[in-house]
Amino acid sequence: MRTLLVAALTAASLAPLLLAPHPLAASDVVHCLDQQRDLVVRKVRHRCEGQILTDAEAAAWRERAAQRKLEQFRRAQDTVPQVEARPHAVSTGFWVHKDGYLITNNHAVQGCQRLSLLQDGQPLGSARIHATRPALDLALLKAERRPQAVAAFVARPDLAPGTELNIVGYPSEGMPRVQAALYPAESAGQPRSDETPLFAFLGRIRFGNSGSPVLNGSGGVLGIVTAKIDSLAVFEQTGRLPPDLGLAVAGRQIEAFLEAEGLSRQRATGGATLSAEAQLAQARRLVMRVDCWRN
């Protein structure tokens, strides 16, 4: 996961993404414990339907959660083929075309000598870089396999401040994940025009989330995670603290990329809001881990 510095994203370039009619102050965003889903996320205070935790309580909870994830990983090792070598870096990708094309971040695959894919512990073979758009941090890969499902893009996404989103991918918990995980997020503000290539969101993002799809409640793709804002640097520039603030490339930019490469894309048709469990089960057919090897 890239961490963007203010040298790259100035206060002026961040303004269309961060400044809503009523900008969030640091005290407006809290640690919210969702006991039903066993998650602690950063939320706007009035949208927290669970228990509000202090910084210390949230840190202790996340430490216990990391230990649980580590134990799950160790148990999963019994069913996953073991190799001595480890990839140089790990990211997330997702299928965008039935002929075996997937999208991820350009920074995640740049300089890799080879790429391999893993989906919930099952190797999917290798992939190669088909095309890139470095300015948008997008890379289109071609895999040996054909997908079970492909992304369905939302035509007119609702990204009003506070809109609930989900991120599905392979975030690192100290070591690469074997199974995909879903984390809730929420929009930090609607882009001011269709020309804005990025949108901001509040949510838990970690190394490995590069390339994760950002989904709406029914599983439609809104964009792709590309970076995490350096909160301290932004605060020094703007006087506002954006905790756990990430950036995603808008879905329409991915669609334009696919069209330029002569590939069709699937359009989301709406549908009922899915539970977190149902959405994760659906998304696991869509996302995969992308391993970068340099030797």
Model confidence pLDDT, tens digit, residues 7-16: 334 444 444 4
Q: Residue 252 — very low, low, confident or very high, per pLDDT cuts 50/70/90?
A: very high
* Residue 280, CA distances (Å) to 45, 67, 137, 218 in order: 26, 21, 25, 11
* pLDDT, position 23: 54
Using the predicted structure, report yes or no on whether residue 270 has a pLDDT greater than 70.
yes
| Phi and psi based region of residue 257 (left: phi greater than 0; alpha: psi -120 to 50; beta: remaining) | alpha
Q: What is the pLDDT of residue 272?
A: 87
pLDDT for 20 beyond 60: no
Gap between the Cα atoms of 136 and 217, Å rounded: 25
Rg (CA), the chain: 18
Q: Which amino acid is at 263?
A: L
Give the alpha-carbon dihedral of 125, 126, 131, 134, to 10 degrees: 110
**Mean pLDDT for the stretch of residues 141-155:** 93
| Rounded distance between C-alpha atoms, residue 199 and residue 92, angstroms | 19
User: Per-residue pLDDT for 92 more than 90?
Assistant: yes
pTM: 0.72
Q: What are phi and psi of 63, to 5 degrees?
A: -65, -45
Count CB neighbours of 149 within 10 A. Answer: 16
Give the chain's mean pLDDT: 83
**pLDDT at position 192:** 61
Domains in the chain, start-ordered, CATH in brackets?
Answer: 2-20+32-77+151-293 (2.40.10.10), 85-143 (2.40.10.10)
CA gap 35, 49 in Å, rounded = 10
The predicted pLDDT at position 19 comes to: 43
What is the C-alpha separation between 291 and 116, in angstroms, rounded?
5
User: How confident is the model over 19-31, as a mean pLDDT?
Assistant: 62
pLDDT for residue 60: 87
Q: Establish how many alpha carbons lie within 13 A of residue 75's alpha carbon, considering only the half-sphere containing its beta carbon.
A: 7
Confidence of residue 158 (pLDDT cuts 50, 70, 90): confident
